[in-house]
Chain A
Amino acid sequence: MTMAASNSLLELRKCTMRFGGLTAVSALDLEIGRNELIGLIGPNGAGKTTVFNLITGVYQPTEGSIDFESASIVGRKAYNITEHGIARTFQNIRLFPSLSVFDNVRVAFHLHLLSGLSHALVRGSGFLREEREISEKVMELLKIFRLDGHADVEAKSLPYGDQRRLEIVRALATRPKLLLLDEPAAGMNPTEKVELMNLIRFIQDQFKLSVLLVEHDMKVVMGICQRVAVLDYGQKIAEGTPEEIRCNPKVIEAYLGETNA
């Protein structure tokens, strides 16, 4: 599956990540187009989260290149990569627990602030206007995701499913072009998973962004992704549409063992 270069948003070429003697990701090629929803699957320890950490600047690849909008992002700091338009959620939820739901999202808006420290001290009319605008935008976002009723609640006291949703809302507030979701369905019941699938489709559509979804749950991945890449022991063993992946013998082997193939 090749794409025109102009359409490519993120491009990993021959990306390798070694931790001492362990090769977590090996010569990975991955391309994500604009407004595309891609799934990244693989058994435990296949290197999925490492791929996330490479893209978001937590790790620097041992070899290979990562280009975002045709510019290399290797060596950039995590906050800088977010500035460029890549936002993420975490496998184990990482909200700001002592901040309110409202402030969790508000903090994420700071990237698009015109006013800084000095404005916050002077509190002139421009600053106050901007703060009001941000408040409105935060509430708008919270409303879309039905979290506005909990705006003043401390994030840590939200129910689990709401925390997951809030993490997505917070990532959206940075106005990303690419959203990375790390096992968003973890710990959800079947009804919640269906809701989550609708939510992800809605986000891709409404916010006009690309999504890279790391997920264990096959139903979720096969249900919404346009393309799926399969990792095993750090190597990409298959890539294609959900149908192609489902009957790929290598994938079946990796997931179910040889005897079942």
Chain B
Amino acid sequence: MRPTGGHLLLAGGLVGSYLLNLASDRIDGYWLHIITLVGINVILAVSLNLINGYTGQFSLGHAGFMAIGAYTAAAITMFGGPKLLPLLGGSGSAMAVGMLFLMALVAGGIVASIAGVVVGGPSLRLKGDYLAIVTLGFGEIISVIFRNIESLGGALGLNGIPLYTNLFWTFGFGVVTIYTVLALVHSTYGRGFIAVHDDEIAAEAMGINTTRYKITAFVIGAFFAGIGGGLFAHQISAIDPRGFTFMRSIEIVVFVILGGMGNTVGVILAAVLLTILTEYLRGIGEWRMLMYSFLLIVLMLTRPQGLFRWRSGRRVKSAATPTVS
């Protein structure tokens, strides 16, 4: 099998994440925290972009998937860790911790993607605003469910989650998320997602099973949201249901809209910039949210197609050239 550009990107990204992690001792703790948040937000934004951007199914439930991943992964490392670590090679071994964490993250992703099937179901019948409201409700339901599960800490949430998240896991999964979405979309199979976004009736007429595509988008998007949630839980060590409400979903949707729906590079840049901006604006206290909202309004008025959409240049140029065959 000959490696392609995508394979090289994936391998390079993973090696880069590993090297970056080795250097993390030299990074100031505050910045390390922000950089990790950036990575997690990139995972969330890029995965939501598959659902909202490429497939055009406006979901407001990403925080719900994130919560499921966070709680699942945290429960595995907290409650399962003491039993599993000795089996994997002892709690002192970095390898054992790594394996436990990987298992916990992937399990969180899988449980979240099962929830993705459940939410994807109604999306077969609903479009636009209606779907947005259903997914919004889903996110809130998840939050309420976790608030009422006493064994998972109820309203107080889980505390003392081991701090396993580091730059390798965060950026490693970031690279995997980006690769997955790009590899999918850049294939004949994956163009079907965009076809569903553009015109469902025409897509069906071309033999595309739109239902299947929508559920697939939800399952993959939810999987990586779950991973992002797991990373988040093991980054801040304490999670509670209030951290995964509607506002969190909106924040991720904003990354996608500002980056440009269905534009992975733009969405990544938006996630990076906005995460840093939010931290930066922390200095001005209460004015922060005001500033943030103001910026959003200005950006939406001036660049409704997203901050980073530059593809149109090619279109104009080639459209002006007459056919010469």
Binding site for B on A (CB under 8 A): 56, 58, 77-79, 82-83, 87-88, 90, 94-99, 103, 106-111, 113, 115-117, 119-121, 123-125, 127-128, 130-131, 134, 143, 146-150, 152-154, 157-158, 170-171, 174
A120 to B220, CA, bound (A): 14
Contact between B319 and A123 (Cβ–Cβ < 8 Å)?
A: no
Known A-B contacts A110-B188, A120-B189, A157-B315; A149 and B207 likewise in contact (beta carbons under 8 Å): no
Known A-B contacts A79-B210, A117-B184; A110 and B191 likewise in contact (beta carbons under 8 Å): yes
A97 to B194, CA, bound (A): 10
CB distance from A55 to the nearest CB of B (A): 11
Pick the contact of A99: B183, B184, B191, B318 (CB < 8 A).
B191
Pick the contact of A94: B180, B188, B201, B314 (CB < 8 A).
B201
A197 to B210, CA, bound (A): 33
A152 to B316, CA, bound (A): 11
Interface residues on B, range: 35 or more
Contact between A107 and B192 (Cβ–Cβ < 8 Å)?
A: yes
Minimum CB distance partner of B56 in chain A = A98
Contact between A96 and B198 (Cβ–Cβ < 8 Å)?
A: yes
- Chain B residues within 8 Å of A96, by CB: 194-195, 198-199, 202-203
A158 to B320, CA, bound (A): 10
Q: Is there a chain A Cβ closer than 8 Å to B323's Cβ?
A: yes
Minimum CB distance partner of B314 in chain A = A152
- Chain A residues within 8 Å of B180, by CB: 121
CB distance from A259 to the nearest CB of B (A): 41
Mask, B257-282, CB within 8 Å of A = 1, is: 00000100000000000000000000
> Can you list 20 A-B contacts (CB < 8 A)?
A79-B205, A79-B208, A79-B210, A94-B201, A95-B199, A96-B194, A96-B199, A99-B198, A106-B188, A107-B188, A107-B194, A108-B206, A110-B192, A110-B207, A113-B189, A117-B216, A119-B187, A120-B189, A125-B2, A157-B319
- Chain B residues within 8 Å of A153, by CB: 315, 318-319
Pick the contact of A88: B4, B195, B205 (CB < 8 A).
B205
- Of residues 169 through 222 on chain B, the ones whose CB sits less than 8 Å from some CB of chain A are 180, 183-184, 187-192, 194-195, 197-199, 201-210, 216
CB distance from B182 to the nearest CB of A (A): 10
- Chain B residues within 8 Å of A109, by CB: 188
A111 to B203, CA, bound (A): 11
Q: Is there a chain A Cβ closer than 8 Å to B7's Cβ?
A: yes
Binding site for A on B (CB under 8 A): 1-2, 4, 6-7, 180, 183-184, 187-192, 194-195, 197-199, 201-210, 216, 262, 314-315, 318-319, 321-325
Known A-B contacts A95-B199, A107-B188, A116-B189; A143 and B325 likewise in contact (beta carbons under 8 Å): yes
- Chain A residues within 8 Å of B183, by CB: 120-121, 123
A62 to B196, CA, bound (A): 28
Counting from the closest, the 3 A-B pairs by CB-CB distance are A149-B323, A120-B187, A82-B207
CB distance from B80 to the nearest CB of A (A): 29
A-B contact number at CB 8 A: 135
Pick the contact of B205: A87, A134, A152 (CB < 8 A).
A87
- Chain A residues within 8 Å of B262, by CB: 98
Contact between B315 and A150 (Cβ–Cβ < 8 Å)?
A: no
Contact between B207 and A103 (Cβ–Cβ < 8 Å)?
A: no
Pick the contact of B198: A90, A98, A130 (CB < 8 A).
A98
Contact between A124 and B1 (Cβ–Cβ < 8 Å)?
A: yes
A255 to B112, CA, bound (A): 60
Pick the contact of A152: B189, B194, B318 (CB < 8 A).
B318
A127 to B319, CA, bound (A): 31
Known: A107-B206, A121-B180. 9 other contacts (CB 8 A): A96-B199, A97-B198, A106-B188, A108-B207, A115-B189, A116-B189, A123-B7, A128-B4, A148-B325
CB distance from B3 to the nearest CB of A (A): 9
CB distance from B6 to the nearest CB of A (A): 6
Pick the contact of B188: A95, A113, A148, A154 (CB < 8 A).
A113
- Chain A residues within 8 Å of B207, by CB: 79, 82-83, 108, 110-111, 174
